[in-house]
Amino acid sequence: MITKIEELLKKVEDFKPQAQADIEEFRIRLLGKKGEVTALMEEFRTVAPELKRELGQKLNILKSAALEKVNAMKSEFSGRTASGGKIDDMTRPGTNDPIGSRHPISLVRNQIVAIFARLGYTVAEGPEIEDDWHVFSALNFPPDHPARDMQDTFFVEKNPDILLRTHTSSIQVRVMETQKPPIRVICPGRVFRNEAISSRSHCIFHQVEGLYIDENVSFADLKQSILYFAREMFGQAAKIRLRPSYFPFTEPSAEVDVSCNLCGGKGCGVCKGTGWLEIMGCGMVDPNVLEACGIDSTKYTGFAFGMGIERIAMLKFGVRDIRLFFENDVRFLRQFGSVL
């Protein structure tokens, strides 16, 4: 027994773990239920009384040496870091630093952009602080149109010519002024309207508008493009319907409804029992707008559409209050980490 104890003591002294897992294995091999030291303890009960004293002492030394070694090795390994200068345990699982998730508005914007990219649209951007021409005049807004009113538009430094854009149609004007047809662009961006903040509207929100100009572009092309978008965004079962509407820059104009994806069109609280949800405005670009931007309206036709990203995101994710998108409460934002 003495030789066995000494043998094990030497083993403890010589033990050099390569990896953290080795330490646990070593502990089990010696001190576990079926370990070698444990077995010696069992055996100790049967040794002759005159040997007990000496053997007992030796056994205790062995046991505490083994324990000490295990603990010392454990703390050494846990103290090792890649930056600590020591050789790290390459088998140790890494620690993940928590990273954020994309904002739901970014997720939906990216998805809208991706859908239209598949139809050949490219992205155009423009300034948030605009002039009257690009936001209103070039778009056929009469001088007395209520959208120009102080109630709807934020003006910059009391100068009625400089304002925060109320829609991203201003980007489309910039594109038409600088590019020749065929034009196929979508314009995502932040827009500003002097409106009371409620669960349904905010003074800052995001839009994606689209513009397609070429020879022989028809209303049928518009309808088909929007149907494609609605199905990609809300699922292949989505239906659309167009209701006549009015915008100064399109003629004819329409509002687009998509079948309610929450109740499948049967009628529910979100669609107010109608089975339909309004998602965007659209129409054929008014010839006056084409001419104002230097495009020959006898040769070219085009369509335009525009939607609010918050609205699409609310419908898609069942968010009932638009203000949640601006409060940036991580408990809200965190939920969208991997939805798209």
Binding site for ligand PHE (CB under 6 A): 167, 169, 209, 247, 250, 281-283, 304-306
To ligand PHE, the closest distance from the beta carbon of 127 in angstroms equals: 16
- When CB distances to ligand PHE are compared, the closest residue is 306
Q: Quick one: 17 or 308, whose CB is closer to ligand PHE?
A: 308
Cα 216-221-226 angle, rounded to 5 deg:
150
Nearest to 5 by CA among 44, 33, 32: 44
Nearest to 2 by CA among 64, 65, 62, 75: 62
Residue with tokens 């430094």: 157
Instruction: Determine the Cα–Cα distance for residues 318 and 71; give it in Å rounded to an integer.
Output: 53
Instruction: Determine the Cα–Cα distance for residues 229 and 113; give it in Å rounded to an integer.
Output: 10
To ligand PHE, the closest distance from the beta carbon of 294 in angstroms equals: 19
Q: Quick one: 265 or 306, whose CB is closer to ligand PHE?
A: 306
Instruction: Determine the Cα–Cα distance for residues 133 and 161; give it in Å rounded to an integer.
Output: 8
Q: Quick one: 167 or 184, whose CB is closer to ligand PHE?
A: 167
To ligand PHE, the closest distance from the beta carbon of 328 in angstroms equals: 25
To ligand PHE, the closest distance from the beta carbon of 139 in angstroms equals: 8
Q: Quick one: 265 or 302, whose CB is closer to ligand PHE?
A: 302
Backbone φ and ψ for 184, nearest 5 degrees, come out as -145, 95
To ligand PHE, the closest distance from the beta carbon of 340 in angstroms equals: 24
Q: CB of 79 within 8 A of CB of 308?
A: no
Q: Quick one: 282 or 293, whose CB is closer to ligand PHE?
A: 282
Beta-strand runs (E) in the chain: 122-123, 129-131, 155-156, 159-164, 183-192, 204-214, 240-247, 250-259, 276-285, 301-308
Q: 72 in helix, strand or coil? A: helix
Amino acid at 263: C
To ligand PHE, the closest distance from the beta carbon of 306 in angstroms equals: 3
Q: Interhelix angle for 309-317 vs 104-117, to 10°?
A: 100
To ligand PHE, the closest distance from the beta carbon of 200 in angstroms equals: 15
To ligand PHE, the closest distance from the beta carbon of 99 in angstroms equals: 34
Q: Quick one: 172 or 261, whose CB is closer to ligand PHE?
A: 172
Q: Quick one: 192 or 234, whose CB is closer to ligand PHE?
A: 192
Q: Quick one: 12 or 191, whose CB is closer to ligand PHE?
A: 191
SS3 content of the chain, % helix, strand, coil (to 5): 40, 20, 35
